[in-house]
């Protein structure tokens, strides 16, 4: 069952190849298990349907694709996932839910007549015998998205505001006690303001597609570490009093927690989902 790893299995399927040289019912269940755990039911179901449709076309059998069968099995797997440990392997999952290995299980919910109707093949048809079991949709990745959005938005606002003392000398004097108005100082602040504005734009760019651009959160954590190191050097060398840096360090600690927590949320969160 696991001679082929999940990543290799999914890669072969997405390339239109038969994993392990075949693609049976249990392989359909495994595909659903992989994608639903990764993407949650809402997005995972769509990717399962689109993937199986492409796979059937790649195998030269597009007419075999059945919309209701595909989505019904995805929802049955999703219902079983709701009661399964998040870190269970696929063999463990199947052992705990042996009904999923039986193709006849679906006939507890659908009659043969309902599934054989052309409209069931072409689109979704509700069960005619009994409702499908309830399922859950919110994967860790789906719960991670709003956290990343919040981190990117808060970071963008913070960086945008940080530009103000860099380009307004009176604000720099108020916040940091800098009275230096020389050309080298203004030149350095201009450089810093340009970089800060660019990072603000990068955070807003990541805000639009937080999951795909989550790496920006990790990069931002590194940037904050660099800023903190610079500030510590300034304090230790006597160029900046601790009391002036204390509010900045509190803000940076909060930002570090927000960005790091959002970035690592999927790994840290327990298996928890919203029943639908």
Average pLDDT over residues 117-142: 81
Q: 44: closest CA among 139, 131, 135, 114?
A: 139
- Higher per-residue pLDDT: 21 or 170: 170
How far apart (Å, rounded) are the C-alpha atoms in residues 216 and 148? 10
How far apart (Å, rounded) are the C-alpha atoms in residues 207 and 150? 8
- Structure confidence at residue 4 as a pLDDT band (50, 70, 90): low
- Residue 215: how many CB atoms within 10 A of its CB? 10
- 3-state secondary structure (DSSP) of residue 162: helix
Q: Do 252 and 224 touch, CB atoms closer than 8 A? A: yes
- Chain position carrying tokens 């103000």: 164
Contacts made by residues 120-128, CB under 8 angstroms, sequence distance 24+: 120/66, 120/67, 120/68, 120/69, 121/65, 121/66, 121/67, 121/68, 122/67, 123/67, 123/68, 124/67, 124/68, 124/71, 125/68, 127/72
C-alpha distance from residue 259 to each of 120, 216, 236 (Å): 45, 9, 27
The listed range with the strongest mean pLDDT (183-187, 209-213, 240-244) is 240-244
The residue count of the chain comes to 276
| Tokens describing residue 155 | 């970071």
Residue 19: pLDDT over 70:
no
How far apart (Å, rounded) are the C-alpha atoms in residues 74 and 49? 9
Would you list the DSSP string of 254-267? HHHHHHHHHHTHHH
Average pLDDT, the chain: 85
Residue 62: pLDDT over 90:
no
Residue 183: pLDDT over 70:
yes
Q: Do 145 and 211 touch, CB atoms closer than 8 A? A: yes
- Chain position carrying tokens 């298996």: 271
Find the range with the poorest average confidence among 120-134, 167-181, 239-253: 167-181
Q: 261: closest CA among 154, 144, 142, 138?
A: 144
At 235-246, the pLDDT tens digits run: 999 888 999 999
| Tokens describing residue 254 | 């909060």
- Structure confidence at residue 271 as a pLDDT band (50, 70, 90): very low
How far apart (Å, rounded) are the C-alpha atoms in residues 267 and 110? 37
Q: 147: closest CA among 227, 66, 266?
A: 266
Provide the 8-state DSSP code for 117: S
Residue 84: pLDDT over 80:
no
C-alpha distance from residue 218 to each of 27, 225, 228, 266 (Å): 35, 11, 16, 14
| Tokens describing residue 268 | 């840290």
């Amino acid at each position: 069952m696991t001679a082929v790893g999940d990543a290799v299995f999914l890669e072969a399927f997405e390339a239109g190849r038969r994993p392990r040289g075949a693609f049976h019912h249990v392989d359909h269940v495994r595909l659903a298990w992989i994608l639903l755990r990764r993407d949650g039911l809402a997005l995972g179901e769509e990717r399962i349907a689109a993937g199986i449709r492409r796979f059937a076309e790649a195998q030269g059998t597009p007419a075999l694709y059945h919309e209701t069968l595909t989505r019904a099995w995805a929802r049955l797997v999703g219902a079983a996932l709701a009661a399964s440990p998040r870190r269970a392997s696929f063999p463990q999952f199947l052992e705990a839910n042996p009904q999923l290995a039986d193709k006849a299980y679906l006939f507890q919910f659908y009659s043969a007549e309902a599934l054989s109707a052309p409209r069931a093949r072409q689109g979704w048809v509700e069960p005619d015998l009994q409702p499908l079991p309830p399922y859950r949709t919110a994967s860790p990745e789906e719960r991670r998205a709003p956290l990343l959005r919040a981190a990117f938005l808060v970071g963008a606002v913070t960086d945008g505001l940080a530009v103000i003392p860099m380009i307004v000398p009176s604000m720099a004097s108020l916040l940091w006690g800098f009275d230096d108005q020389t050309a080298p100082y203004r030149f350095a602040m201009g450089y810093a303001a340009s970089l800060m504005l660019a990072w603000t734009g990068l955070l807003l760019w990541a805000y639009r597609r937080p999951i795909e651009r989550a790496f920006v959160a990790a990069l931002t954590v590194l940037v904050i570490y660099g800023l903190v190191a610079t500030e510590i050097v300034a304090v230790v060398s006597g160029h900046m009093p601790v009391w002036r840096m204390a509010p900045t360090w509190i803000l940076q600690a909060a930002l570090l927690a927000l960005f790091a927590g959002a970035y690592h949320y999927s790994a840290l969160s327990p298996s928890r989902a919203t029943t639908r």
